[in-house]
Chain A
Amino acid sequence: MLHILYIIKKHSTAIMIIALVCAATKSFGQDTLAGNYPLLTIKSGNHIIKSVVTIKGRLDIEAGAKIELIEAGVIVCEGALNMKGELNNKIEIFGKSNMEGVGIVIKDLDSNMNSSIDIRYVTFKNLQLPLFFDFGWKRAAVNISDNYFINNIGKVSIIQVLNPPFNFNIDSSYIDFKVKNNVFTGNNAALYFEDLKSDHVNYEISNNTIVGNNVYGFKNYNISTNVLYGRVDQLFSRFNPKIERNSFAFNYLVDNITDTIVHLANFGVYGTDKTIDFKNNYLGSTNKALIQKSIYDQTLNYNAPKVEFEPFLSTPSENNPSHVYEINNLDNSYLEDSIIIKDPLKGLVLKSNTSLNFSKVKFGYTYFKDDSSLKIVDTTVTYDVQPNGNNTKLTITKNLNALKKIGYYNIGDIIDPKGGYVPEVKAGYIAYLNDLRRRKLIAESLKDKKKEDSLKMPPPPADSIKNQFQKIEAPLKSRLEFGLYSGLAIFNGTISQSSLFSNDKNLFNGFNINYTIFSNLSASMTIASFKLSNSDANSNNNEQQARGMSFSTSMLGVSTSINYDFVDNRLYTKARKIRPSIGVGLDVNSFSPSGIYNGVEYKLQPLGTGGQLIDSTKKAYSSLALGYFFNFKIKYQINRFNSIGLHMSIHKSLSDYLDDVGPDLYPSIDKIVNSKVENKDAAIYFSNPTSRNFVGQYRNSPNNAKDGYINFGIFYSRRLFK
């Protein structure tokens, strides 16, 4: 025993650390649920569900449980469901932002005939379909009360109740289905009941706050594009739905395509019955005509039942969850929901069904920055609160938006007397959405215009070398560009001097065909005609001056090159009109150097000025020369088809005889005289024009330079085909 105590004492620090880690894991850790469970109790704390979790028997979720549903995450209940949160310790079922999970599915018949669905004090937020009672489900009773359905993103339903599998009129049992005291706000879908009037389900939908929901559909207002809808058939006669003391306000049909508000959308009904009782609800207005606009019934469709909504409540019941049901101007005149707010308001009066707490309110004002772009300015409004019972006056103390662009006010984080959530209030939002749509259309048309201006391909992502060269799907002819080149050619070789621009400058003309291979790669071929000439007399090198040689040659060259274009050549945008490129290529040049002797021009190659023709082992040099070059171009795109630019290319020849002066020893005059050369005088002269002492010297001394030339100038190019 002493030994054990000794061990505990010795390792007490380690034991405490382990205990603390376990406690922290328990407190802050999150539990991932997956697979099938016969029974399941989800306790208070964080839980994650990324897949289908099926509970065959009873599912208990305790107050304080926070369950995050991610993507395919869904809870399937095949038995009883007991979700009992507490007023100040709610259960939260929520979807992960941008990876929203589904929700809870109630399905199948439970073997335990007394099992029920009890959902209280639960927040359903950011889900695709928070509650779905699948076809053929059956439980003893359903109670959905005191819950919050907030900002659920799914466009199918918030709550969707399909029919249970009863045989017609044979089974006398029924389901009490209660939806009471819930808040539905900021959702994108409706509450759907397959058969509101039924022999097997007795619906009671009462004291709910259904405000600020957007039901997505198309421009045509119909039954299903209402925040609450279902069928009322003469086929059933047992239970008429009890839908009363609910508060409907600011619920709209939103067009799926344009994201603009189309219509008020509170209640829709269809079926063979003549009427449905929809009395004693607050329907967003005290104006009967306006209320009628928010209901889809016989008024719009002769085959649908008539909705009996009179008498309606002029204000929502205080027993409903707290909410703002009407927005007025400071003078208590009604603020139209379609108001266009360009001039900032001086204040608002909010009418609510209970008194509200504005101490933590975030009062925002969002407006567009200019006339047509999507740029917005989010501001926080400074204001004074003057409560007066259930009316609250908010006086704005500082006005912004001096440019008077369209905007809207958003009032969030209002809390009810018990600290509960109160739906957000928006003023001017309908006009804001309309203007947003207009701006999106402008942005899209600009984008389309840019696409048209490009070569029908999007620019490649520039973050990878692999993606530098994108394939082009354009037809061959549209990849061709034809150009006319002009400029100057300067020889740089044996008969030249180091200062480039002190050499002779001759006219250069060329015709170019460019073919776009990839997004940033093109090939081109140039046929060029130009002249090269120079004289040692221009040189500032004495040795060259003493040599006294000169030449002139006409060049006809064909060059092919491959070019890297710094700007994607599929695009034509005003922002990228200047397009540089660099390239390398090969030349084939025909040349024929000549010189003037006593006023007569002689071709130098046939004279064998380097002694090529005085020795039978030698032969005259070829007048075709291969070469290579580097080029650089800056193109200015005038429009989609035409461009002009500057070009420069540096050429090196593989022949040393462009200027006729190669690495040959000065030939003997006697040997020239005795050779078969026709114009011996010229040959003697050109072989050594200054008759200098040449013993042991090479004609290309002193510089021994390799021949080449530089072309530069301007060009005009044009795409001939779209």
Chain B
Amino acid sequence: MKLKNTILLLLLFSSIIIIIGCSKTVAKTPLEFQKELLAGTSAYLNTQRTWQLDSFYVDGVNFPLTALQKGYKKTFNYDGLYSDSEMNTGKWEIQTLGKLKQTIIYKTTNKQDSSVFDIVSINAARLNLNIKLSNGKLGSYSFKISN
């Protein structure tokens, strides 16, 4: 009887250890990760990310930027709000991996517009976006992190 109790106790301890010790952290999906890279994780001091325009290409050709243009910044809040250095506001969302949809309310005209960027690449330091310009050419924006 005593041995039986000891074995049962041992099994109970082992089970608890295995259950606790083997519980896995669920990895983030690429979509979630992309959102976090773009706008932060919502943790303290990590609720938004600001990206500063670094270069611009049209159909692969460098479009030299003025100093003012190089000061342009996009800010993505983790909660989906968007703003930029030209005082425009709006919303952002990534419903599909690599597709950044922006809804912008222009400060000057109060007009609302939306556009979908292709996220060519994103990491903690750089964000490259492509979009088809109104003239049918491919515009490539390159941003660097500016927190």
Most buried by A among B6, B20, B25, B27: B25
A506 to B6, CA, bound (A): 25
Report if A271 contacts B (CB, 8 A).
no
A290 to B142, CA, bound (A): 128
Given the known A-B contacts A596-B27, A598-B33, are A690 and B41 also in contact in the complex, defined by CB atoms under 8 Å?
yes
List the B side residues contacting A506 at CB < 8 Å: 21
List the B side residues contacting A542 at CB < 8 Å: 44-45
Binds B, one of A3-11, A426-434, A581-589, A681-689: A681-689
List the B side residues contacting A548 at CB < 8 Å: 41, 43, 46
**Beta-carbon contact of A545 and B27 below 8 Å:** no
Report if A691 contacts B (CB, 8 A).
yes
Contact of A689 among B22, B25, B124 (CB under 8 A): B124
Contact of A546 among B3, B21, B43, B124 (CB under 8 A): B43
List the A side residues contacting B125 at CB < 8 Å: 669, 673, 684, 691
Binds A, one of B9-17, B57-65, B103-111, B131-139: B9-17
A644 to B12, CA, bound (A): 13
A11 to B33, CA, bound (A): 114
**Beta-carbon contact of B147 and A488 below 8 Å:** no
**Beta-carbon contact of A691 and B45 below 8 Å:** no
**Beta-carbon contact of B17 and A546 below 8 Å:** no
List the A side residues contacting B13 at CB < 8 Å: 713-714
**Beta-carbon contact of B14 and A714 below 8 Å:** yes
Within 8 A of B (CB), among A502-547: 504-508, 533, 535-537, 542-543, 545-546
Given the known A-B contacts A684-B125, A690-B45, are A488 and B10 also in contact in the complex, defined by CB atoms under 8 Å?
no
A548 to B49, CA, bound (A): 14
Report if B18 contacts A (CB, 8 A).
yes
**Beta-carbon contact of A691 and B49 below 8 Å:** yes
Report if A235 contacts B (CB, 8 A).
no
**Beta-carbon contact of B147 and A692 below 8 Å:** yes
Given the known A-B contacts A545-B46, A714-B10, are A599 and B22 also in contact in the complex, defined by CB atoms under 8 Å?
no
**Beta-carbon contact of B147 and A693 below 8 Å:** yes
Report if A224 contacts B (CB, 8 A).
no
CB distance from B4 to the nearest CB of A (A): 12
Contact of A505 among B3, B6, B21, B27 (CB under 8 A): B21
Report if B123 contacts A (CB, 8 A).
yes
The residue on A at minimum CB distance from B40 is A690
CB distance from A545 to the nearest CB of B (A): 4
CB distance from A510 to the nearest CB of B (A): 12
A489 to B17, CA, bound (A): 10
List the B side residues contacting A489 at CB < 8 Å: 21
**Beta-carbon contact of A692 and B124 below 8 Å:** no
**Beta-carbon contact of A545 and B123 below 8 Å:** no
List the A side residues contacting B17 at CB < 8 Å: 486-488, 507, 713-714
**Beta-carbon contact of A692 and B46 below 8 Å:** yes
Report if A638 contacts B (CB, 8 A).
yes
Within 8 A of A (CB), among B19-56: 20-23, 25, 27-30, 33-34, 37, 40-41, 43-46, 49
**Beta-carbon contact of A546 and B33 below 8 Å:** no
A247 to B132, CA, bound (A): 139
**Beta-carbon contact of A545 and B49 below 8 Å:** no
Within 8 A of B (CB), among A481-498: 486-489
Report if A602 contacts B (CB, 8 A).
no
Within 8 A of A (CB), among B41-91: 41, 43-46, 49
Report if A630 contacts B (CB, 8 A).
no
List the B side residues contacting A486 at CB < 8 Å: 14, 17
List the B side residues contacting A687 at CB < 8 Å: 124
CB distance from B21 to the nearest CB of A (A): 3
Within 8 A of B (CB), among A542-584: 542-543, 545-546, 548
Report if B145 contacts A (CB, 8 A).
yes
The residue on A at minimum CB distance from B12 is A714
Most buried by A among B28, B30, B41, B124: B124
Contact of B44 among A546, A596, A599, A716 (CB under 8 A): A546
A691 to B13, CA, bound (A): 42
A691 to B51, CA, bound (A): 11
**Beta-carbon contact of A691 and B20 below 8 Å:** no
A689 to B123, CA, bound (A): 10
The residue on B at minimum CB distance from A636 is B6
List the B side residues contacting A693 at CB < 8 Å: 147
Provide a sorted-by-A list of 24 A–B residue pairs whose CB atoms are within 8 angstroms: A488-B20, A488-B21, A505-B20, A505-B21, A506-B21, A507-B22, A508-B21, A535-B25, A537-B41, A548-B41, A548-B43, A596-B27, A596-B28, A599-B30, A638-B3, A673-B125, A680-B123, A681-B121, A688-B124, A689-B124, A691-B125, A691-B145, A692-B147, A714-B14
Closest 7 CB pairs of A and B: A507-B21, A546-B45, A542-B44, A681-B123, A545-B43, A685-B124, A545-B44
Beyond A533-B25, A687-B124, 6 extra complex contacts between A and B, CB < 8 Å: A487-B21, A507-B22, A508-B21, A669-B145, A690-B46, A691-B145
Residues on B lying within 8 angstroms of A by beta carbon are 3, 6, 10, 13-14, 17-18, 20-23, 25, 27-30, 33-34, 37, 40-41, 43-46, 49, 121, 123-125, 145, 147
Residues on A lying within 8 angstroms of B by beta carbon are 486-489, 504-508, 533, 535-537, 542-543, 545-546, 548, 596-599, 636, 638, 644, 669, 673, 680-681, 684-685, 687-693, 713-714, 716
